[in-house]
Amino acid sequence: MEVKIGVQHAPREIVLESGQSAEEVERAVGDALAGKAQLLSLTDEKGRRILVPADRLAYVEIGEATERRVGFGVL
């Protein structure tokens, strides 16, 4: 699952591949925005944790994982 996070006053967005489902990511974002958690905490596919202060979230885009194509073939 590809997740893009926009952070206020930051020129770049955070992009990560997460093993979490779309529902889990949406629930974590909802909890952070509702004030239940002060940090948005997500884990990427390599086990690294990404923490973003909830009051600095600009947007979160949840998309499907893209398959990496290797070699020569029909696109």
Predicted local confidence at residue 67, as pLDDT = 66
Tokens coding 11: 């020129």
C-alpha to C-alpha distance for 63 and 19, rounded to whole angstroms: 12
66 SS3 class:
coil
| 38-72 tens-digit pLDDT | 999 999 999 999 999 999 999 999 998 666 667 77
Q: Please tell me whether residue 4 adopts helix, strand or coil conformation.
A: strand
Of 71 and 32, more confident = 32
The contacts of residue 74 (CB under 8 Å, 6+ apart) are none
